[in-house]
Protein backbone atom coordinates (compact mmCIF):
# COMPACT_ATOMS: atom_id res chain seq x y z
CA UNK A 1 0.00 0.00 0.00
CA UNK A 2 1.37 3.39 -0.99
CA UNK A 3 2.18 6.00 1.57
CA UNK A 4 -0.90 8.23 1.97
CA UNK A 5 1.30 11.33 2.04
CA UNK A 6 2.65 10.56 -1.42
CA UNK A 7 -0.72 11.21 -3.06
CA UNK A 8 -1.90 14.72 -2.39
CA UNK A 9 -5.08 16.08 -3.90
CA UNK A 10 -4.84 18.79 -6.55
CA UNK A 11 -6.15 21.31 -4.02
CA UNK A 12 -3.52 20.29 -1.46
CA UNK A 13 -0.65 20.44 -3.94
CA UNK A 14 -1.66 23.71 -5.55
CA UNK A 15 0.49 26.71 -4.79
CA UNK A 16 -2.36 29.05 -5.68
CA UNK A 17 -4.28 30.34 -2.70
CA UNK A 18 -7.89 29.18 -2.57
CA UNK A 19 -10.20 32.18 -2.52
CA UNK A 20 -13.91 32.62 -2.33
CA UNK A 21 -16.76 32.06 -2.66
CA UNK A 22 -17.21 35.25 -0.63
CA UNK A 23 -15.77 38.57 -1.74
CA UNK A 24 -12.03 38.91 -1.49
CA UNK A 25 -9.71 41.86 -1.70
CA UNK A 26 -7.73 41.98 -4.92
CA UNK A 27 -5.33 44.53 -6.36
CA UNK A 28 -5.52 45.29 -10.06
CA UNK A 29 -3.29 47.62 -12.03
CA UNK A 30 -5.33 49.16 -14.82
CA UNK A 31 -3.89 51.76 -17.17
CA UNK A 32 -0.99 52.22 -14.77
CA UNK A 33 -3.20 52.93 -11.75
CA UNK A 34 -3.49 50.50 -8.84
CA UNK A 35 -7.02 49.64 -7.69
CA UNK A 36 -7.88 47.61 -4.59
CA UNK A 37 -11.28 46.03 -5.00
CA UNK A 38 -13.45 43.76 -2.88
CA UNK A 39 -14.95 41.31 -5.41
CA UNK A 40 -16.22 37.78 -5.60
CA UNK A 41 -13.64 35.62 -7.40
CA UNK A 42 -16.21 34.85 -10.12
CA UNK A 43 -16.43 38.50 -11.28
CA UNK A 44 -15.23 38.97 -14.83
CA UNK A 45 -12.58 41.52 -15.67
CA UNK A 46 -15.16 43.32 -17.81
CA UNK A 47 -17.59 43.67 -14.90
CA UNK A 48 -14.78 44.80 -12.59
CA UNK A 49 -13.74 47.47 -15.10
CA UNK A 50 -17.22 48.73 -15.91
CA UNK A 51 -19.08 48.32 -12.62
CA UNK A 52 -16.36 48.78 -10.01
CA UNK A 53 -13.85 51.13 -11.66
CA UNK A 54 -16.21 53.16 -13.90
CA UNK A 55 -14.06 52.35 -16.96
CA UNK A 56 -16.91 51.94 -19.41
CA UNK A 57 -14.98 52.12 -22.69
CA UNK A 58 -14.81 48.34 -22.98
CA UNK A 59 -18.26 47.21 -24.01
CA UNK A 60 -20.38 44.24 -23.01
CA UNK A 61 -21.61 42.91 -26.32
CA UNK A 62 -22.35 39.20 -26.29
CA UNK A 63 -20.89 38.31 -22.84
CA UNK A 64 -19.83 35.01 -24.45
CA UNK A 65 -16.49 35.87 -26.05
CA UNK A 66 -17.71 35.94 -29.63
CA UNK A 67 -17.98 39.64 -30.54
CA UNK A 68 -14.72 41.22 -29.30
CA UNK A 69 -16.37 44.40 -27.98
CA UNK A 70 -14.71 43.81 -24.59
CA UNK A 71 -11.15 43.40 -25.91
CA UNK A 72 -8.47 44.72 -23.53
CA UNK A 73 -4.81 43.85 -23.03
CA UNK A 74 -3.37 41.90 -20.13
CA UNK A 75 0.41 42.24 -20.09
CA UNK A 76 0.19 43.52 -23.66
CA UNK A 77 -1.74 40.49 -24.94
CA UNK A 78 -5.30 41.00 -26.14
CA UNK A 79 -7.93 39.17 -24.13
CA UNK A 80 -11.69 39.08 -23.99
CA UNK A 81 -12.52 40.74 -20.69
CA UNK A 82 -15.94 39.07 -20.49
CA UNK A 83 -14.24 35.64 -20.33
CA UNK A 84 -11.35 36.65 -18.05
CA UNK A 85 -11.77 36.52 -14.28
CA UNK A 86 -10.61 39.71 -12.59
CA UNK A 87 -8.79 37.71 -9.90
CA UNK A 88 -6.51 36.18 -12.57
CA UNK A 89 -5.23 39.64 -13.44
CA UNK A 90 -3.64 40.34 -10.07
CA UNK A 91 0.03 41.18 -10.54
CA UNK A 92 -0.50 41.87 -14.25
CA UNK A 93 -0.92 45.10 -16.21
CA UNK A 94 -4.38 45.63 -17.70
CA UNK A 95 -4.79 48.22 -20.45
CA UNK A 96 -8.17 49.45 -21.63
CA UNK A 97 -9.18 51.88 -24.37
CA UNK A 98 -9.01 54.65 -21.74
CA UNK A 99 -5.30 53.88 -21.31
CA UNK A 100 -4.30 54.37 -24.96
CA UNK A 101 -4.44 58.15 -25.18
CA UNK A 102 -1.64 60.28 -23.76
CA UNK A 103 -3.64 62.89 -21.86
CA UNK A 104 -5.68 64.74 -24.48
CA UNK A 105 -3.54 63.33 -27.32
CA UNK A 106 -5.29 60.41 -29.02
CA UNK A 107 -3.35 57.28 -29.87
CA UNK A 108 -2.50 57.18 -33.61
CA UNK A 109 -4.99 54.34 -34.11
CA UNK A 110 -7.74 56.31 -32.42
CA UNK A 111 -6.99 59.28 -34.71
CA UNK A 112 -6.95 57.00 -37.78
CA UNK A 113 -10.33 55.52 -36.84
CA UNK A 114 -11.77 59.04 -36.70
CA UNK A 115 -10.08 60.14 -39.95
CA UNK A 116 -11.21 57.03 -41.86
CA UNK A 117 -14.73 56.91 -40.40
CA UNK A 118 -13.89 53.42 -39.13
CA UNK A 119 -16.95 53.29 -36.91
CA UNK A 120 -20.66 53.69 -37.43
CA UNK A 121 -22.58 53.25 -34.20
CA UNK A 122 -19.29 53.14 -32.27
CA UNK A 123 -20.24 50.27 -29.98
CA UNK A 124 -17.50 47.90 -31.19
CA UNK A 125 -14.93 50.67 -31.70
CA UNK A 126 -13.01 50.34 -28.40
CA UNK A 127 -12.51 46.59 -28.92
CA UNK A 128 -11.66 47.13 -32.59
CA UNK A 129 -9.03 49.73 -31.70
CA UNK A 130 -7.48 47.59 -28.95
CA UNK A 131 -7.23 44.66 -31.37
CA UNK A 132 -5.92 46.86 -34.19
CA UNK A 133 -3.07 48.23 -32.07
CA UNK A 134 -2.22 44.72 -30.85
CA UNK A 135 -2.38 43.43 -34.43
CA UNK A 136 0.32 45.91 -35.48
CA UNK A 137 2.44 45.14 -32.41
CA UNK A 138 2.17 41.42 -33.20
CA UNK A 139 3.24 41.98 -36.82
CA UNK A 140 0.01 40.67 -38.35
CA UNK A 141 -0.82 43.52 -40.72
CA UNK A 142 1.09 42.58 -43.86
CA UNK A 143 -1.93 42.82 -46.16
CA UNK A 144 -5.71 43.19 -46.05
CA UNK A 145 -6.26 39.44 -45.93
CA UNK A 146 -3.98 39.09 -42.91
CA UNK A 147 -5.60 42.09 -41.22
CA UNK A 148 -9.07 40.61 -41.79
CA UNK A 149 -7.96 37.24 -40.39
CA UNK A 150 -6.35 38.66 -37.24
CA UNK A 151 -9.26 41.08 -36.66
CA UNK A 152 -11.89 38.37 -37.22
CA UNK A 153 -12.61 38.09 -33.50
CA UNK A 154 -13.99 41.62 -33.51
CA UNK A 155 -17.44 41.91 -35.04
CA UNK A 156 -18.78 45.19 -36.42
CA UNK A 157 -22.53 44.98 -36.84
CA UNK A 158 -22.43 48.13 -39.00
CA UNK A 159 -19.93 46.52 -41.42
CA UNK A 160 -17.31 49.28 -41.26
CA UNK A 161 -14.61 46.70 -42.08
CA UNK A 162 -13.19 48.49 -45.17
CA UNK A 163 -12.75 51.67 -43.11
CA UNK A 164 -11.22 49.73 -40.21
CA UNK A 165 -8.67 48.11 -42.55
CA UNK A 166 -7.94 51.52 -44.06
CA UNK A 167 -7.22 52.98 -40.61
CA UNK A 168 -4.95 50.05 -39.76
CA UNK A 169 -3.09 50.41 -43.07
CA UNK A 170 -2.54 54.11 -42.39
CA UNK A 171 -1.06 53.53 -38.94
CA UNK A 172 1.02 50.65 -40.32
CA UNK A 173 2.34 52.98 -43.01
CA UNK A 174 3.18 55.69 -40.47
CA UNK A 175 5.05 53.16 -38.33
CA UNK A 176 6.97 51.87 -41.34
CA UNK A 177 7.89 55.43 -42.36
CA UNK A 178 9.30 56.36 -38.93
Tell me if the bond preceding 21 is cis, omega within 30° of 0.
Answer: yes
123 three-class SS: coil
Look at residue 100 in the predicted model and tell me its pLDDT. Answer: 96
Indicate the pLDDT class of residue 137, thresholds 50, 70 and 90. Answer: very high
The answer on pLDDT for 112 being more than 50 is yes
Indicate the pLDDT class of residue 17, thresholds 50, 70 and 90. Answer: low
Evaluate if pTM is beyond 0.95.
no
Look at residue 22 in the predicted model and tell me its pLDDT. Answer: 86
Question: If you average pLDDT over every residue of the chain, what do you get?
Answer: 90
d(CA 58, CA 39): 19
Query: What share of the chain in percent tops pLDDT 70?
Result: 88
Indicate the pLDDT class of residue 3, thresholds 50, 70 and 90. Answer: very low
The backbone torsions φ and ψ at residue 159, rounded to the nearest 5 degrees and listed phi first, read: 60, 45
Model pLDDT for residues 153-164, shown as the tens digit of each residue: 999 999 999 999
28 three-class SS: strand
The answer on pLDDT for 11 being more than 90 is no
The answer on pLDDT for 38 being more than 80 is yes
The answer on pLDDT for 6 being more than 70 is no
Residues making up the chain, counted from first to last: 178
Amino acid sequence: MADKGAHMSVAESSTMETRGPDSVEMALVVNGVSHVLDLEPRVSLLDALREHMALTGSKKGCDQGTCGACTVWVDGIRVLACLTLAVTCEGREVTTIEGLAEGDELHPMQRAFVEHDAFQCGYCTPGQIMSAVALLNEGHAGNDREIAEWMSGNICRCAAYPHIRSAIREVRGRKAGQ
